[in-house]
Amino acid sequence: MPITAATLETDPRFFYAFRQGARLLLEIYDSDPPLARLFSSQQRWLMSHAAFALACSRDPEDPASGLYSARFIGLVVEKNVASKNTAADFIKEIVANGFVRVVSGHEDRRRKPLQATEVPDRAMSQWLELHLSGLDGIDGGNRAEIYRADPALQYRLQPKIAERILVERSVRTQGPAFDLFTWANFGGLILDLLIAEVAPGADAAGPATDRLQAGTLSLTETARRFTISRTHVVRLFGKAAELGDIGWSGRRGESDVWISRRLLRQYWQYQAAKHALVDQAFADVVGSESVQTA
């Protein structure tokens, strides 16, 4: 049986899984910033999944299938992910960065079917394996092993995941502080930066104190790392501080930073909901009986 979000929300081992995921995303950003920008906010992350899923759905016999500009724009507007203009700009960006290309032999000016190139294809495969490995760490399953044995599973699995992600409220919103970060430009990566430095605590639900140390963080260095304005970073942290979910041990922006237990729980619940959706999609594609658990 697929693991439920409720199970993941109360399992302390899950903390290590999603913290490792945050660290991996930061490594991807440092090695390929243009690629990681596709996942730098909740809106862009959702659009990336929508675009990849549409590309995977292409049927050569059906000219209306697959990823092309009008269909992508229609989907993200319908799901209240982004405006028409934002969606159109996103398509232009991924074309310009070489993350998608026109399918060979289809040069119709009105409808140009697009396909993912090797870089995002590999990144999505890493994303899937990361989540499957995290689930395996909870129940001793062999999902990642099954996936590695048949990497083409991603073209059936990812669309199932995207379909759920686009409509699942607990994945799209969790609370004021979580939403503040994840829907802001580069806010998702900044939140990952904080989560990646949180140390585990002793109780069964994860870190036990109300203020959780998240390392030393410089607002200036954060802005430089993500090539965004310091004003944007200061404003984002200032709003989070007003909510009581971010603070510093000393001088603001130049000393050890802490996040609230509430913010961690919101992030934890989001990750639990997302991983549960991944597991349900995996069961739908390969069959739950195929997964061997401890």
Average pLDDT of the residues in 8-25: 92
* 209 backbone dihedrals φ, ψ, rounded to 5°: -90, 165
Same CATH topology for 5-172 and 176-267: the answer is yes
Q: What is the pLDDT of residues 43-57, one digit of tens each?
A: 999 999 999 999 999
Q: What is the pLDDT of residues 196-232, one digit of tens each?
A: 999 866 344 455 568 898 988 889 999 999 999 999 9
pLDDT at 254 over 80: no
| pLDDT of the residue at 233 | 95
pLDDT at 285 over 80: yes
**C-beta of residue 281 within 8 angstroms of C-beta of residue 157:** yes
Cα–Cα distance measured from residue 59 to residue 66, given in angstroms and rounded to the nearest whole number: 7
- Which range, of 59-68, 169-178, 269-278, averages the lowest pLDDT? 59-68
CA 206 → CA 20, 35, 152, distances in Å? Answer: 15, 31, 35
Location of structure tokens 């739950």:
288
Residue at 112: amino acid letter = K
* Strands (E) located in 131-221: 211-216
Which CATH number does the domain 176-267 belong to among 3.40.50.720, 1.10.10.10, 3.20.20.70, 1.10.579.10?
1.10.10.10
Average pLDDT of the residues in 57-79: 89
pLDDT at 153 over 60: yes
- Which range, of 115-129, 193-207, 239-253, averages the lowest pLDDT? 193-207
Query: When comparing pLDDT for 116 and 252, which is higher?
Result: 116
pLDDT at 103 over 70: yes
Please tell me the pTM assigned to this model: 0.91
**Residue ranges per domain, the chain?**
5-172, 176-267
CATH architecture of 5-172: Orthogonal Bundle (1.10)
Query: When comparing pLDDT for 138 and 209, which is higher?
Result: 138
| pLDDT of the residue at 205 | 47
